[in-house]
A and B are shown apart, each in its own frame.
Chain A
Amino acid sequence: MVMRIDCKGLYYRKQNKIIRNAAEEGETEFILDNANGQRYIGSGISKKIKITVNGVPGNDLAMFMNGPTIIVNANAQDGVANTMNAGELIVHGSAGDVIGYGMRGGKLYVQGNVGYRAGIHAKEYKKQVPIIIAGGVAGDFCGEYMAGGILVLLGLNRSEGEPIAGNYLGTGMHGGVIYIRGEVDEYTLGKEVSVLPLDSKDMKVLTKHLKEYCGHFGLDLDEIMAEPFIKLQPVSSRPYGSLYAY
């Protein structure tokens, strides 16, 4: 059974309670129509449910989320996948600022652009590695403080001369990896990262995730892989180790 909720004029607190309660009682699929800025959709839910959002969801979509799949058929706002632990989030549009903040696991696939501070302080532990892929470009401070995880920027549909990422790319980064399809100017990089070529292991990881990504958005994997990628990695896992006197 699919539960359809008309979100028109529905307060977020009531809406999320309906979802939580129904999920608790075994409902596995939800369709939210007319979403218009309702916050915290899917937040903190640990059940393997599927939520389709028709309309624009509000901030902190999928915050602390732990298992569900969310499909957004519009743009998403700020704080998407904030401190998310597991699950999948597919945004058929662009997403706002601070997406994937402190993300610990799961997948965040954005078709279009992402705002400032994407993937900030993402983490990983052994096999639990969060993945963020954005089809377009990213704002400033992309991948700031990253301590783990994989962040991919494809830079598709860019206008002439538009950079793929803003300034301070990877600043404070001390773990994880950023893959970029195209080039970035040296001066836009944070001082804690270095640019490296991809090795076969990188290609394997990248192909695997991009295949899935292309499946969601009807893109051609070969076409995407035809352009060269670069890899950004932190210079040190201890960027501030020598900052202090004894």
Chain B
Amino acid sequence: MAATSELPPEFIVKIDYDRCRRCKRCVMNCSFGCMHFTDRVVPEHKLCVACQRCVTYCPEHAITVTKNELAYKENANWSPELRKNILKQAETGGILLVGMGNPRDYPILWDHLLIDACQVTNPSIDPLREPMELRTFLGRKPDRLEFVERDDGEIDLATEIEPQVRLDVPVIFGAMSYGAVSLNVHRSLVMAAARSGTLMNTGEGGLHRELYPYAGNVIVQVASGRFGVHSEYLNTSAMVEIKIGQGAKPGIGGHLPGEKVDEDISKTRMIPVGSDAISPAPHHDIYSIEDLSQLIYAIKEATDYEKPVSVKISAVHNVAAIASGIVRAGADVVTIDGFRGGTGAAPMVIRDNVGIPIELALAAVDQRLRDEGIRNNASIICAGGIRSSGDMAKAIALGADAVVIGTAALVAMGCRICQKCYTGNCAWGIATQRPELVRRLDPQVGSARLSNLLTAWSLELKEILGSLGVNSIESLRGSRERLRGVGLDSQTLELLGVKPAGVGQ
């Protein structure tokens, strides 16, 4: 918000002048230009976005940021949000741009699903003392296995296995492009992925040369803008992903604003410094499933059939039929991104009103592929709205091979979900290219925190598996019988393929 705008401030920054020792640390830390120093620190409330940076870094804990309670008089119909948006548009005539995922109060189905556990009749397993298998292989699995007997009586596998990618934990870092986020974010993600035996996804902005040595832990994305896509890039990867859609903004393209396109990004994306990086809404060489197939095989040709190819789509009404087409087009992995998935920038009207919940999309896709007998032809990755290991376990039970975390990974690195990613001023050094801000995220620290998160979720997942009495994630995958629904209507339960709580086997 501009300081000159007539909008009332959203937040009030309170400074306890008795505690403040005038160190000006808050002035240095606020990247939104909210703090000024005259004879003492004076906040410009209107500029505050409640990113909590100053609050965290004030050595005297002299700062609190609160909501401006009566900025708008109470009205159950006309929420402050609605009035704020109208005022903004009346002042500018522009599309409302937002960062981060859909914040609205739509039902979160994960919170209406509960996991089973063993009691008496079947023993649970203690994961601290017994081995638990979390390894997952992504890629096309054969319809059947054939074996040949060697002369010495040993048996060899005769079936040729398509390329597979091994994950030690079934959690992948979601696609966030270099440009939308800083290089230090990419560094943190890739180092953590390498340490934890999983993958990070470049997003659509290419891969910085410095990260090429981490090829084995990288999914390289090919999006409509084709930024940074060349044969070496495609081959510097564990997997290649064609991005068709993103959960936060299904059906639309993206613009990385010119302010974020500095020298390094210009080089990685191959566009001039300062120009907008425009991703068209569709890939203009894909207008049909046949065209998609053509791009899938173009990538396979360019990578000598050595890498699985994933196709990422947003969760939309017809997601199951689309996913079936994608698998039949030759994709080895389908990534479905739910409507709560994050974004660096999206029009608010799209983010808040388009798409469907990932829980339903995932269940529908898994079921459809099973019904058609092609579930083994592709792995399913579930993205957009995974907040905890509990969500992850439920997603796996609904049929996911692995889950994606984006926002959760950013939060682990310091993000406070202030939703201002599109401004390029991220005070936590994440969604920014301003060198003095980028420096705030130390990749060593960032990657250690990400690895800690994955370690913690792995331990928790093992606890869940143990309580279910199984010792491998494979036994939970697609096992909807181990889920029950609470507070869900019968149609939703049917779509999820889950019985209501209270019903036994």
Residues of chain A at the chain B interface (Cβ within 8 Å): 13, 16, 20, 39-40, 43-46, 59-60, 63-66, 78-79, 82-83, 85, 98, 101-102, 104, 117, 120-121, 123-125, 128, 144-145, 147-148, 172, 174-175, 237-246
Taking CB atoms, residues of chain A closer than 8 Å to B94 are 242-246
Cα A45 to Cα B231 in complex, Å, equals 8
Taking CB atoms, residues of chain B closer than 8 Å to A241 are 257-258, 276
Check B226 for interface membership: any CB of A closer than 8 A: yes
Taking CB atoms, residues of chain B closer than 8 Å to A43 are 298, 301-302
Q: Which of B1, B294, B302 contacts A64 (CB 8 A)?
A: B302
- CB nearest neighbor in B for A237: B275
Cα A59 to Cα B227 in complex, Å, equals 21
CB within 8 Å of A: which of B216-230?
Answer: 224-227, 229-230
Check B96 for interface membership: any CB of A closer than 8 A: yes
State whether B92 touches A245 (Cβ < 8 A).
Answer: yes
Check B266 for interface membership: any CB of A closer than 8 A: yes
State whether A85 touches B231 (Cβ < 8 A).
Answer: yes
Cα A65 to Cα B302 in complex, Å, equals 9
Residues of chain B at the chain A interface (Cβ within 8 Å): 1-2, 5, 88-89, 91-97, 224-227, 229-232, 234, 255, 257-258, 266-267, 269-272, 274-278, 280, 284-285, 294, 297-298, 301-304, 347
Shortest C-beta distance, B343 to chain A (Å), equals 14
- CB nearest neighbor in B for A63: B298
State whether B284 touches A237 (Cβ < 8 A).
Answer: no
Taking CB atoms, residues of chain A closer than 8 Å to B97 are 244-245
Sample 22 A-B pairs with CB under 8 A, ordered by A number: A43-B298, A63-B301, A64-B234, A64-B298, A66-B230, A66-B231, A98-B284, A121-B226, A123-B226, A123-B227, A123-B269, A123-B270, A124-B270, A147-B277, A174-B275, A174-B276, A175-B272, A237-B275, A244-B94, A245-B89, A245-B94, A245-B95
The number of A-B residue pairs with CB atoms under 8 Å apart is 142
Taking CB atoms, residues of chain A closer than 8 Å to B224 are 121
Known: A124-B270, A240-B255, A240-B276. A98 touches B95 (CB 8 A): no
State whether B96 touches A237 (Cβ < 8 A).
Answer: no
Shortest C-beta distance, B222 to chain A (Å), equals 8
Known: A43-B301, A244-B95. 10 other contacts (CB 8 A): A40-B297, A60-B294, A123-B269, A124-B270, A237-B258, A240-B276, A241-B276, A242-B94, A243-B94, A244-B347
State whether A44 touches B231 (Cβ < 8 A).
Answer: yes
Top 5 nearest A-B pairs (CB, nearest first) are: A44-B302, A102-B226, A237-B275, A245-B94, A245-B92
Interface centre among B229, B275, B297, B304 (most CB of A within 10 A): B275
Cα A121 to Cα B253 in complex, Å, equals 13
Taking CB atoms, residues of chain A closer than 8 Å to B284 are 98, 101, 117, 120-121, 144
State whether B270 touches A121 (Cβ < 8 A).
Answer: no
- CB nearest neighbor in A for B277: A147
Taking CB atoms, residues of chain B closer than 8 Å to A44 are 231, 234, 301-303
Q: Which of B92, B230, B231, B232 contacts A246 (CB 8 A)?
A: B92
- CB nearest neighbor in B for A141: B284
Shortest C-beta distance, B113 to chain A (Å), equals 37
State whether A16 touches B1 (Cβ < 8 A).
Answer: no
Known: A40-B298, A43-B298, A117-B284. A85 touches B230 (CB 8 A): yes
Q: Which of B269, B271, B285, B301 contacts A101 (CB 8 A)?
A: B285
State whether A246 touches B1 (Cβ < 8 A).
Answer: yes
Taking CB atoms, residues of chain A closer than 8 Å to B258 are 237-238, 241
Taking CB atoms, residues of chain A closer than 8 Å to B298 are 39-40, 43, 60, 63-64, 82
- CB nearest neighbor in A for B89: A245
Shortest C-beta distance, B56 to chain A (Å), equals 25
Taking CB atoms, residues of chain A closer than 8 Å to B89 are 245
State whether B96 touches A121 (Cβ < 8 A).
Answer: no
Taking CB atoms, residues of chain B closer than 8 Å to A245 are 88-89, 91-97
Q: Which of A63, A101, A125 contacts B266 (CB 8 A)?
A: A125
State whether B95 touches A64 (Cβ < 8 A).
Answer: no
Shortest C-beta distance, B200 to chain A (Å), equals 22
Shortest C-beta distance, A149 to chain B (Å), equals 10
State whether A59 touches B294 (Cβ < 8 A).
Answer: yes
Cα A121 to Cα B195 in complex, Å, equals 37
Taking CB atoms, residues of chain B closer than 8 Å to A39 are 294, 297-298, 301
Cα A183 to Cα B229 in complex, Å, equals 35
Taking CB atoms, residues of chain A closer than 8 Å to B272 are 124-125, 147-148, 175, 237
State whether A174 touches B278 (Cβ < 8 A).
Answer: yes
Cα A246 to Cα B285 in complex, Å, equals 34
- CB nearest neighbor in A for B258: A238
Taking CB atoms, residues of chain B closer than 8 Å to A242 are 94
State whether A238 touches B275 (Cβ < 8 A).
Answer: yes
State whether A121 touches B225 (Cβ < 8 A).
Answer: yes
- CB nearest neighbor in B for A44: B302
Cα A243 to Cα B306 in complex, Å, equals 42
Taking CB atoms, residues of chain A closer than 8 Å to B230 are 64, 66, 83, 85, 104
State whether B267 touches A125 (Cβ < 8 A).
Answer: yes
State whether A175 touches B271 (Cβ < 8 A).
Answer: yes
Taking CB atoms, residues of chain B closer than 8 Å to A82 are 285, 298
Taking CB atoms, residues of chain B closer than 8 Å to A66 are 230-232
Taking CB atoms, residues of chain A closer than 8 Å to B285 are 60, 78-79, 82, 98, 101
Taking CB atoms, residues of chain A closer than 8 Å to B92 are 244-246
Taking CB atoms, residues of chain B closer than 8 Å to A104 are 230, 270
Cα A240 to Cα B256 in complex, Å, equals 10
Taking CB atoms, residues of chain A closer than 8 Å to B297 are 39-40
Taking CB atoms, residues of chain B closer than 8 Å to A145 are 278, 280
Known: A79-B285, A83-B230, A244-B97. A237 touches B274 (CB 8 A): yes
State whether A147 touches B278 (Cβ < 8 A).
Answer: yes
- CB nearest neighbor in B for A126: B267
Taking CB atoms, residues of chain B closer than 8 Å to A243 are 94-95, 255
Cα A125 to Cα B267 in complex, Å, equals 7
Cα A145 to Cα B278 in complex, Å, equals 8
Q: Which of A83, A125, A175 contacts B226 (CB 8 A)?
A: A83
Shortest C-beta distance, A84 to chain B (Å), equals 9
Cα A183 to Cα B297 in complex, Å, equals 40
Known: A237-B258, A245-B97, A246-B92. A83 touches B275 (CB 8 A): no
Taking CB atoms, residues of chain A closer than 8 Å to B277 are 147
Known: A79-B294, A83-B226, A101-B284. A40 touches B301 (CB 8 A): yes
Interface centre among B224, B225, B270, B271 (most CB of A within 10 A): B270
Taking CB atoms, residues of chain B closer than 8 Å to A45 are 231
Cα A20 to Cα B272 in complex, Å, equals 33
Taking CB atoms, residues of chain A closer than 8 Å to B301 are 13, 16, 39-40, 43-44, 63
- CB nearest neighbor in B for A45: B231
- CB nearest neighbor in A for B7: A246
Cα A44 to Cα B231 in complex, Å, equals 5
